[in-house]
Structure 1
Amino acid sequence: MGRWVRPELTRNVFLNPDVRIDKAKRGMGVLENKEEGEKYAEHGLRKFLRTRPPEIMPTINQFFSQDE
């Protein structure tokens, strides 16, 4: 491969249920793939991250935000 491929594009192409690579499904206007969409939306990592606070490094944030 002569060029770099952006990782987010590659991830989107392989994991997003709305992206059509297969020729048989490419001509369809609306895909009937509710199960595949549910699997994409309810991915284990997404389920885990929904319960976590939106912090990058919580330990460092707590260290610097505590009063002495």
Structure 2
Amino acid sequence: MASAAWQRWIRPEVYPLFATTGVAVSICAMQLIRNITTNPDVRVTKENRAAGILENFDEGKRYSRHWFRRFIDGKRPEIMPSLNSFMADPKED
């Protein structure tokens, strides 16, 4: 019975589905680990939970301004800027 299910689901046509699902699960796990370890609002240990509400604005700013957000600051929100300008900008005669 197990070999029949194996032959039914594990085919070369299904590999892209497994790959995209694996990437999505990896991204979710990465975000979960990031939130648990670096989010200033999440307190896992008992000592940190006993501290109550902290006024740690610097830590919150560091969390919200992570490296990727600083990298994309000031860039135009376009995936293909040359193609966008080619399609949208009028031709000058």
Q: With the length of structure 2 as denominator, give the TM-score of the two structures.
A: 0.47
Deviations 1:17-59 (A, max 9, x none): 2111222111233123222112223333322312111123334
The answer on 1:26 being equivalent to 2:52 is: no
How well do the aligned residues superpose, as a CA RMSD in angstroms? 2.6
Q: 1:49 aligns with which of 50, 53, 72?
A: 72
For 1:13, give the aligned amino acid. Answer: I
List gaps (5 residues or longer) in structure 2: 1-24
| Rounded Cα–Cα distance in structure 1 between residues aligned with 2:46 and 2:33 | 18
Which one has more relative contact order, counting CA pairs under 8 Å at least 6 apart?
1
User: For residues 1-68 of structure 1, what are the structure 2 equivalents within 5 Å?
Assistant: 6-7=28-29, 8-65=31-88
| Greater Rg by CA | 2
Which shifted more, 36-45 or 15-24?
A: 36-45
Aligned residues: 65
For 1:24, give the aligned amino acid. Answer: E
